[in-house]
Structure 1
Amino acid sequence: MELFTGLEGKLTKMKINVCESTEPFNPRSGDDFEYEVLVNPEQIQQKFSTVFDESQADGTTGADVRFRVQKPQNFETDLLFDGTGVLANSPLPGANILGLKTSETVDDQLTRFKNIVFKYNGDTHAPNLLQIQWGSFLFRGKLKDLTITYSLFKPDGSPLRAKAKCVFVESMADTLRAARERSESPDLTHVRILKDQENLPLMAHRIYKDPGYYREVAKANKLRSLRQIAVGTRIHFPPIDKTKR
């Protein structure tokens, strides 16, 4: 996890902030809107999923699967809650050596955590929109599942340690989603750099899903010969009206 822990510099802690419910969804600060983890997680998981229509006719041995949707990204991680105080002197990477609230019980920590990530927000009529940031990692979404496992107790039964297994689901504004989809659309001009082992028909197929449009691309870029295009050449792929072919 060197990508996120910043071992060569100042220790950075994973932070979870409540975001504004309307664009531009700025993260809010303060005890009621921000949670800094006690110990950075050992790992995080990102799950990406695409749904296809895999239906096929009876008696066939395969199918031309068709794209339906790409599901929102899922982010999973385990977070530690500790009330023993031993982490104040722990050599474990990520321990909150300076800012540990030793007087805060595990129940208090979990209540504060759940008030931010899980509690129903009466103003928005939904759980809070969250921003999770750690080093170069940035995620925006809502808590989907929370499983808390208690593993250490006082003689009176009060918990001294707990682990929260968190599953967050990505949340994206419609305007941002539409903008991202448009940026990948063949109806917009794209610029690509010609790489080794690439050719114009192959690149046209990637953009327009049809290699035959390489002629229009060559004309738009004023290319005289397809065999003499130097590696590293910037190729413009303009919008093409496929109905006129």
Structure 2
Amino acid sequence: MKEEINLAGRPYIFRFRQNTDRTIEEIAENYIYFPDRESLNDPFDSSPDLVYLTKNPEATLKLYQLVSEGITDKAVKKHFDSKYDLDKLQEFAHEKVKDFILEFGVACFSMYYMNLPLWANYANDHKGVCLQFDSDIDKDFFSVLGPVSYVEDLTKLEFSPIIEDSDMGKIFYRKAINWSYEKEVRLVKGFKGKANYNKRALRNVILGYNSDDDFRDKIVEAVNKNYEDVGVYKMEKPTKINKFTLTKIK
């Protein structure tokens, strides 16, 4: 199992978690929690303000028809059909895009566990853990896993209701270049909340070098009770740059 830790990149991905009861529960019940984009720490991450409705007349008409057909109340439908012009439709679509984006849940991973800023930022200053997954073991669960692209300029993405491969989905996999140190891989679900993965997909649990004995014992207990083949290690405080040492606990 330790050999797997040394393999970087897909199918191996790493998820940093804090030293909390929620983390213990996530491991014990083999789930990942998917919050919406409002919970992400970058205010521009997956922002609906970075999406615009295409001005293509055919696409605009298609959207108009889709909205109109979805209105069942005759009075409301009559009002909609008589009052809506392109500008109002654009405004309406923007609000719907926001609602649409908020329906999705996002879970964040990294390609490597050897990333000190991530330990500091997402594992409570090395007091938490890093979970290693093999995404190939549960391909259904990890089916919408993709790397984040880091760009110099977060230009607006075009959304068109008549183009199947529209830019809309890309909004979840794009961040500003100053986040590139995270080497993020992202998993998106069409809902928010808990989702269970195949237990075999969890391969190793790495405790941060500042984790205490109580948290360590709870992690080991959760792994022992619920998994057959998962390693637990503790990272030693690094003394050399880019040199990480792990001590086996289980």
Same fold (TM over 0.5): no
> Whose relative contact order is higher, 1 or 2, with alpha carbons under 8 Å and at least 6 apart?
2
Larger Rg: 1
Structure with higher strand content: 1
TM-score by length of 1: 0.21
Structure with higher helix content: 2
TM-score by length of 2: 0.21
